[in-house]
Amino acid sequence: MIYLDNSATTYPKPQAVREQMQRALREFGANPGRSGYEMSVRTSQAVFRCRERAAQMFGAPGPECVVFQPSCTQALNLVIKGSLAPGDHVVVSDLEHNAVMRPLKALEAKGVTYTKAVTVPGDNDATMDAFRKAIGPRTKLVVCTAGSNVFGICLPVERIAALCHQYGAKICVDAAQTAGVVPINVTAGGIDYLCCAGHKGLYGPMGTGLLILRDPASPLATLVEGGTGTQSQSLLQPDDPPERYESGTLNVPGILGLYAGMGFVGQVGMEKIYESEMKKISYLYESLSRMGQVELYTPPPAIPYYVPVLSFNIKGRQSEAVGQVLAKSGIAVRCGLHCAPCAHEKMGTGGTVRVSPSAFTRPQEMEALVRRVRAIPAGEGEI
Amino acid sequence: MGKPLLVVSSVTYAMKGKEILFRKGIRSYVERIPQTGETGCGYGVYVPEKADEAERILQENHIRVLTRLDREEDL
């Protein structure tokens, strides 16, 4: 199989990740943060090391600013639902994933309003103007993607953060597609909340996500309350992160796998990963742009305006049909709306074929994709 | 007389505290606190020596010391 669906989840995982997870099941089998015997404390220490690594990677003030979540979606839900009240206004980009839009839609029924800023791919000044126009006196939060999961378009999140703060609002960045690929520093960049998937560019297993807090003293309302292993005498949820947002037993094998995944990214080098993947995407774009039957939707992608994600269509064909043909040829891509209908609405597409390489994708795999796509004619006839 | 156990709000802060104290040259250990009616369950940083200085260092580094217990001598 040629796996080119790394925006959904990276595959394969580095060997170190697989080994670390097996080690977790063998050696770190106690519940961390609950007891005082050796294996429990050792497991707590291993979890703490992952927090430290994530804090360092994302420029957080300390490991207490790293909150483990089951996914980036749940991290986003925590920020969105934990910081908004009826009457609040939110600004989002017009590229957001349903992980942002669906919680906001649910909050709309409770009196939270939102405005979509019309982004301009490749023109960050125009994008900034759009955000500036969208922010109002009641804007409490701006939620925006760091990189579109459909079209790869990057947003100038540090500039947007500075703009937010001028207006007294906070910023939450959805880094699902950029964490591990594009460097981001929550302290230097002024990013109040950074939501990451552990299982994409960070090469951890599915079931892991991170919420990185710029200011641990600024609390969010909790979505889940329960056991945290401390202050159990009280029926009130503890105030301090990260445990405040981590009720219940942590996914220790997942967290240890994520630790190894971040280690892999650090070892290879984020810049090298970004450049390597963008080179593959650029090759793909150039090859597809020479095929008359292919529709592309952005200018040639380039650092730093794009992440390595490319969408296309074959004229006259449904994206899912093209995906099926590719799947039969052993090429794995994702088709359809990618849980981001807003992005498709913006670009006028009703679905696309999406290609997303990883650090493990080989050039010959992209060449194989190009050859296969070249053989798919436009129109409705059988392929 | 027992040895001082600086109770903090979570195992994460206990571990962070231990790291900070280590960098300052103070030996410490993360331990489960003896449960009391006041504190409930939790973790502390057991500091065999220089406990006063350790407590000050933790607070300077924004780690709240909820209370200070006397750890029972090893049996």
> CA–CA separation, A12 vs A262, rounded Å?
15
| Chain B residue with Cα closest to A32 | B11
Q: Give the closest residue to A146 by CA, choosing from A116, A179, A169.
A: A179
Which whole number is the average pLDDT over A354-374? Answer: 98
Reported confidence tier of residue A232, pLDDT bands at 50, 70, 90: confident
pLDDT at residue B3, rounded to an integer: 77
- Put simply, the answer to whether A231 touches B15 (Cβ < 8 Å) is no
CA distances from A51 to A102, A212, A354 (A): 29, 10, 32
pLDDT in tens, A333-360: 999 999 999 999 999 999 999 999 999 9
Query: Among partner residues A36, A41, A240, which is closest to B10 by beta-carbon distance?
Result: A240
Domains of chain B and CATH, by start: 3-71 (3.30.70)
- The whole-chain average pLDDT of chain B stands at 88
Phi then psi for residue B59, to 5 deg, are -65, -35
Reported confidence tier of residue A154, pLDDT bands at 50, 70, 90: very high
| Chain A residue with Cα closest to B43 | A230
Per the document, the length of chain A is 383
Cβ contacts (< 8 Å) between A233 and chain B: which residues? 37-41
Domains of chain A and CATH, by start: 2-10+269-374 (3.90.1150.10), 15-267 (3.40.640.10)
> CA–CA separation, A3 vs A333, rounded Å?
7
Q: What is the 3-state secondary structure (H, E, C) of A220-267?
A: CCCCCCCCCCCCCCCCCCCCCCCHHHCCCCCCHHHHHHHHHHHHHHHH
Reported confidence tier of residue B75, pLDDT bands at 50, 70, 90: very low
Instruction: Give the 3-state secondary structure percentages of chain A, helix then strand then coil, rounded to 5.
Output: 40, 15, 45
A170-174 sheet: strands from edge to edge: A66-69, A209-213, A193-197, A170-174, A139-145, A89-93, A113-117
- Sorted by sequence, the CB contacts under 8 Å of residue A241 that are 6+ apart come out as A64, A65, A67, A213, A216, A219
Which letter, b or e, does each residue of A250-275 get, where b requires 16 or more Cβ atoms within 10 Å of its Cβ? bbbbbbbbbbbbbbbbeeeebeebbe
- Put simply, the answer to whether B40 touches A231 (Cβ < 8 Å) is yes
Q: Are A58 and A83 in contact (CB under 8 A)?
A: no
